[in-house]
A = this chain, B = another copy of it.
């Protein structure tokens, strides 16, 4: 491996008039795992312990959807539209098979990619996420919404939204915050316009379908690993159980004393679990 999370250059690929930003590092062989980011997040909202941990034995590709952070183009206001951008981007890189790691909103998008292009993804990891029209996903509670929509999100907002109130979880949150700022040339912030489009997409995804509530999940045929924290205040943890129950080949892992950002609280353990899943 020549590059790492902190040294891989930000690259761009143009397709359908959109200039997509990405970083590609890790091994040269193996199925690349494409990371799909959360609400408002860019290339530097991942945990280097997770990305470098997985990059030890596979290529890792971090990706900004259209209009998000350093990517060009218009931000999509639907999960379906975001999934189309992922597929366009992967095709533009000349890849025919990938693994997906979708976190939060990125997990919604990963499910849609699996539905729109069933053979593109070999395996899928869904973190801190839920099915379309899941439990308690129609809107955030007011305090969570306030933390989630600050013009310039700070540590305090992430500690509230991504970690449990316990001392141990909050300390893990601060350690994550330090790690994720270790790279010198941080990605630019996502615009308020992108935030608005993403909020619309999340609201649309949260609507409970009138019939066959979780029926789409049966169509996701590849192995899926669902992971979350004990009490996710952004996408309630019961939705991880629901995903496991409705996706035909899904494994569930829920971590203790943690919230939405559990994979950043237990990065080493999560990487061990993810590698077992990706390699088995």
The chain A residues found within 8 Å of chain B, CB to CB, are 223, 230, 237-238, 241, 244-245, 248-257, 269, 272-273, 276, 280
Contact = CB atoms under 8 A, between A and B. Distances in A.
Contacts of A241: 238, 241, 254
A253 B250 CA distance: 11
Which of A223, A252, A253, A255: most chain B Cβ within 10 A? Answer: A252
A219 to B, nearest CB: 15
A254 B224 CA distance: 12
B255 A251 contact: yes
A252 B251 CA distance: 10
Contacts of A251: 253-256
Contacts of A250: 256
Contacts of A237: 245
A259 to B, nearest CB: 13
B252 A252 contact: yes
Given A269-B276, A276-B269, A276-B272, A249 B256 contact: yes
Contacts of A255: 251
Contacts of A249: 256-257
A231 to B, nearest CB: 8
Which of A244, A253, A254, A276: most chain B Cβ within 10 A? Answer: A254
Given A249-B256, A251-B253, A269-B276, 8 more contacts: A230-B244, A230-B245, A237-B245, A241-B254, A244-B256, A248-B257, A251-B256, A252-B252
